[in-house]
Amino acid sequence: MSKRVFIDGEAGTTGLQIVERLRRLDGVVVQSLDLRARKDNAARRAMMASVDLVVLCLPDEAAREAADMFEGLGSAAPRLLDASSAHRVAHGWVYGFAELVPGQAAAIAQAARVSNPGCYATGAVALLRPLVDAGLVPADYPLTINAVSGYSGGGKALIADHERDGGPAFGLYGLSLNHKHIPEIERHGGLTRRPIFVPSVGHFRQGMLVSVPLHLDALPGRPTAREIGCALVAHYEGEGQVRVRMTPAEQRLDAACVAGSDLMELFVFENEAASQAVLVARLDNLGKGAAGAAVQNIGLMLGLGVSGRVAERVPA
């Protein structure tokens, strides 16, 4: 029997991407409200009570309000996946990065409420959590994280700005150093010291690079780049959606070339003589950074026997 999924906010960028992926999966039926009923709370509540899983693709405050609707549904309440940033560090919610630690995928599969990770946080946490857990990077180490994203993750106004003639080429933002992904990176990256995070937007629609520079000789134990790479390989061994490139031949990475993929690549670049390294995660901000991760979590939560890998193109 097919599982029924309702996407509250399906007309947004992430919602549309999730719908597209789910319609290519067997065993799932996407239930939709008539356009005129999408802001009718009674209709939304009735739809929620009729399905197996609800995905929230809403602004943060609206996502909190939608989650509150579940309180009155009792035994009729379905499973809930929130694609906003409203519940990523909230009590009672399971973090939806299946590769985070051993057992995380099983926790997602059993959870009533799952919070889908943020795009930047997915790259940063993927790089840092294995190294913190392995003792190679102290939890209180002063870290700087830099990232560039395609403009499709910035909402309708930013998309329109980039898709008009003469749109901006590149821009830094979040320069108050208070981006909403920082608490998520700190919590799920296993950090006890707030990192400095500097995000930016490039003039390309989809794709993302998240980079973390390290002075290897300033780390306890003075690990080599190879030791760091081996720790990442050991952590992600057997994980189909995360691939570690131990000896990258590239001296230049193109973020946009992973558009359309639900996979994430991790790289370790080094200058051995200077005892310096740069860790890089490359992913599609709408793939593993949003809709791809959501479909992976939906597959786990509904027991579909799929990982959500519906688009696996990654350049050689």
What residues act catalytically?
Answer: 119
Contact 258, 88 (CB under 8 A): no
d(CA 308, CA 96): 13
d(CA 153, CA 141): 29
Count Cα atoms within 13 angstroms, Cβ side, for 261: 22
d(CA 281, CA 244): 9
**b/e map 238-269, b = 16+ CB within 10 Å:** ebebbebbeeeeeeebebeebbebbbbbbbbb
d(CA 234, CA 224): 15
Which residue's structure tokens are 């009792």? Answer: 74
d(CA 70, CA 230): 44
CA-atom Rg of the chain in angstroms: 20
Contacts of 166 (CB under 8 A, 6+ apart): none
The β-bridge relationship of strands 170-172 and 196-202 is: antiparallel
d(CA 271, CA 278): 9
